[in-house]
Amino acid sequence: MKQKYPYLHYRHRRAGGIDEIPGCRSIPKNPCSHLSNGNNLHLILSSFRALFAFIILTILTFASAVNPANALVEIDITKGNVDPLPIAIPGFVGNGSQAKIARDIASVVEADLKRSGLFKPIDHGAFIEKITNPDVSPRFSDWKVINALALVTGRISREADGRLRTEFRLWDVFGAEQLTGQQFFTTNKNWRRVAHIIADAIYERLTGEKGYFDTRIVFVSESGGKAKRTKRLAIMDQDGANIRFLTNGSDLVLTPRFSPSRQEITYMSFAGGQPRVYLLNIETGQREIVGNFPNMTFSPRFSPDGQRVIISLQQGGNANIYTMDLRSRKTTRLTNTPAIDTSPSYAPDGSKIVFESDRGGRQQLYVMGAGGGSAQRISFGTGSYSTPVWSPRGDLIAFTKQSGGKFLIGVMKPDGSRERILTEGYHNEGPTWAPNGRTIMFFRETPGANGGPRLYSIDLTGYNEQRVRTPGFASDPAWSPLLE
Amino acid sequence: MKLGVTTSVIAHSLVLSWGLLTLSAPEPLNVADVEALPVDIIPIEALTKSIKGDKKAPLADKPAVKPTRKPVFEKKSINIGDTKVDTESPRNAIPAPSPVEAAAPPKSAPEPKVKPRDTAEVKPQESPEQVPAPTTELAAEPEQKVKVAALTPEEKAPVSREVEPLPQDEFRKLPDLVPVPQLRPATAQAKTAKTNQRKEADKPASKQAKTAPKSKSKNKTDELAALLNRQEAAASGAKRSRKRASLGTKKSNRATKLSQSQMDALRGKIQGCFNLTAGMADAEELRATVTVKLKRSGELEGRPKVTASGGNPGVRRAFKGAAKRAVQRCAPYDELPQDKYETWADLVVNFDVSDML
């Protein structure tokens, strides 16, 4: 290898040579009084240089020997685009009377995926190939050109018994293969649900996480002027369609919550003058009071198994947390402090409870075991924290934070670390998680005489904030689990 | 006065000698230390290309390029005029190689010598065949083209007739003709073939050539065979190298790695194609490796192989898909340097976004 570095070698020799004796030059008065000394020094130095050169050469020799010509390039990718994934969803194929519904289903799927913020449906005008038979492979080159990473094709047809048959296929354009394909049978009316289920399937296959499109939202619909608001309990599909009202608006209602296992809602109502927590069966309309408490009960929430309701009970100037078993009607007291403990929320595994309390002076978040006992404070930022909600994924807790005259919605880990603020505004409150733990819905109130609350959703990344369309004002949203 | 002088001398000498002993030379400036390290600023490419060879390198380090190419011709090379022993080819083939290049004429001399031996030792049937064969081929092609051309048209008719005797050729190929080594006037040929004698020998050879084509031109296939023979002989000139292969690679030794900037460009390209879900669960644990072969054109050869680990099964599958899609989407990799194809024929891409999310 030596011959490969004649240059290097040469430089070293010259630097150590006799022709340059810098010491001599730099002391003009006594030119070379130290010459002999200097020569010795140079001898030593030059031998050092030789050694140094040798070491360098050895290192380089080894370095080049270790890198033989291997026909392999290895590259580490540590970054990527978090841009929404471009997806092409041409209208489904349908004949005659099914043509319209076929188009509608595809557009509902498209809207769902777009709203999630993780997908970017490609404009239909860019499509080159017209899908006529979803059973054969599309011409992938046509979809590559418009840079669609995924393609959804489908077909609607009517069965002999009058039911709709919907089938779809999800294609990986660049891999030229089918990723998934399913078919559904349903009644004519139910086509929106089928569309949501298809969107869920696509979402799950491409992101690896459960979808949340086949879900509903229960919320408080508000109408009338600011002084005299009528508040009604309402329910709608996650995309704002199919609104139904559950109460008639004669009584004030607050904080509705979905049961994780049944078509039941728990909420707080002022019916009969005394604010109490009620349980409402959506399908039958049957209503009952939770527990038999003498005082005001509020901020209810179901346990993850749907067997218990956890509430706050006012006791004098304080409030404590209780649970009630829905079968045995037995109540258990979990906290006993001279402070206001409220807004309890279970961890998804049911082992812990997060709640807000002003036992430390201001409202802060605390975590305790599901059976009560000592609580541990987890929020330490400036301002006060309230309405904690444990994510269905279990990894985060969403909260409302009041700081600097603003209301912020944020998330933190269950141990209180890594607090992140997702959004802020004049008045944000009441976060609720989508069942997959990726999206949070909350309501935001606008100031002014004509202002009022509206529903918004935001992605966990904090980027994809969107308004959820409702007729009139709306507050206190609560997300249902995935429908069955 | 004297006392003063002596004391002064003594005192001075004392002082001087004390000075000589104790006052050493002034402290040398230690600048040399600083200068001892010449620093060169070298572009990173100089390092990545450091494997490049040097023309002035000693022979010991020679890349063994030749042996890898030659083995195809190895067997045939035995037929060369220079080799002394030929055990494989039938003796009829002997004359054929001799016409190689300009060496034709000299054979006129040896041939007569050969004939007697042939007749004496080998079966009489074969001798007539052998004798004409060499002379015709040798003389006709290299030098007497004009004359031959004149002759051949006249005798084209016989060619067609005598195509039948082709079995002669088959005969030649028969391995039954055993005593090959004896037949060869190898030494004689070698001597006469030397350049000095060739030109003189040409003239007599030409006479024979005239006669020779008559016999041979009947058989065009033989002429073709002669041509073919010639090519074979020419191609087989090299001896197999017995030198040890050096540590060098079989392929070219030039710049065996992509330069740093080329790697960066490739990385940037794939990153641009890599589309992943924002806020993926368990992103810290997810790893994926895509292995794929590339064609020279930069396109993928076959489907990429993907392995992934970490995360829950659903997320892992999605991550796997995203990694594979990135590599597929970026193809073709036609910006990679063609002359370094050997280095990027296999592409391995590791995906790890733990620092990102």
ipTM: 0.73
Strand partners, A384: A402
d(CA B345, CA A69): 12
Q: What is the structure's pLDDT at B58?
A: 62
pLDDT tens-digit series, residues A314-347: 888 899 999 989 888 888 999 998 999 999 999 9
Contact across the interface for B325 and A49, Cβ inside 8 Å: no
Any CB–CB contact under 8 A between B36 and chain A?
yes
Q: Which residues in chain B have Cβ-Cβ distances shorter than 8 Å to A22?
A: 31-32, 35
d(CA B173, CA B168): 9
B interface test, pick of A59, A74, A75, A433 with most B CB neighbours within 10 Å: A75
Helix and strand totals (H; E) in chain B: 17, 3
Confidence check: pLDDT of A141 > 50: yes
Q: Which residue of B has its CA nearest to A47?
A: B36
CA angle (A122, A458, A405) in 5-degree steps: 145
pLDDT tens-digit series, residues A405-457: 889 999 999 999 889 999 988 889 999 999 988 899 999 998 887 888 999 99
Min Cα–Cα distance to chain B from A85, Å: 7
Q: For residue A103, give the 3-state DSSP assignment.
A: helix
Strand partners, A411: A398, A420
Q: Which residue of A has its CA nearest to B256?
A: A69
Q: What is the structure's pLDDT at B262?
A: 87
Task: Examine residue B332 and say whether the peptide bond preceding it is cis (omega within 30 degrees of 0).
Answer: yes
Mean pLDDT of chain A: 83
Determine if the pTM surpasses 0.80.
Answer: no
d(CA A45, CA B32): 8
Residue A374 and residue A334 in contact, taking contact as beta carbons nearer than 8 Å:
no
Any CB–CB contact under 8 A between A465 and chain B?
no
The stretch A41-61 carries a mean pLDDT of 60
Q: What is the structure's pLDDT at B126?
A: 43
Highest average pLDDT, of A64-73, A162-171, B80-89, comes from A162-171
Q: What is the structure's pLDDT at B277?
A: 80
Q: How are the residues of chain A apportioned to helix, strand and coil, as percentages rounded to the nearest 5? A: 20, 40, 40
Strand partners, A253: A269
Q: What is the structure's pLDDT at B67?
A: 57
Q: Which residues in chain A have Cβ-Cβ distances shorter than 8 Å to B346?
A: 71-73
Contact pairs from chain A to chain B, CB under 8 Å = 199
Q: What is the structure's pLDDT at B92?
A: 57
Any CB–CB contact under 8 A between A48 and chain B?
yes
Confidence check: pLDDT of A471 > 80: yes
Q: What is the structure's pLDDT at B62?
A: 52
Confidence check: pLDDT of A73 > 60: yes
Residue A397 and residue A365 in contact, taking contact as beta carbons nearer than 8 Å:
yes
Contact across the interface for A23 and B342, Cβ inside 8 Å: no
Any CB–CB contact under 8 A between B347 and chain A?
yes
Q: For residue B238, give the 3-state DSSP assignment.
A: coil
Confidence check: pLDDT of A58 > 70: no
Q: What is the structure's pLDDT at A270?
A: 86
Beta strands in A215-340 (DSSP E): 216-223, 230-237, 244-245, 253-258, 264-269, 276-281, 287-289, 297-302, 308-315, 318-325, 331-333
Q: Which residue of B has its CA nearest to A57?
A: B50
pLDDT in tens, chain B (357 residues): 788 899 999 999 999 999 888 877 777 666 655 556 667 777 776 666 555 555 666 665 555 555 555 555 555 555 556 656 655 655 554 554 544 555 445 444 444 444 444 444 444 444 444 444 444 444 444 444 444 444 444 444 343 333 344 344 444 455 555 454 544 554 444 444 444 544 444 444 444 444 444 444 556 777 766 666 555 554 455 556 565 555 554 454 455 678 888 889 999 999 988 988 877 777 788 899 999 999 989 899 988 999 999 888 888 998 999 999 999 998 889 888 888 888 888 899 999 888 775
In this complex, the residue of B266, B346, B356 whose CB is nearest that of residue A71 is B346
Min Cα–Cα distance to chain B from A459, Å: 9
Q: Which residues in chain A have Cβ-Cβ distances shorter than 8 Å to B44?
A: none
Confidence check: pLDDT of A172 > 90: yes
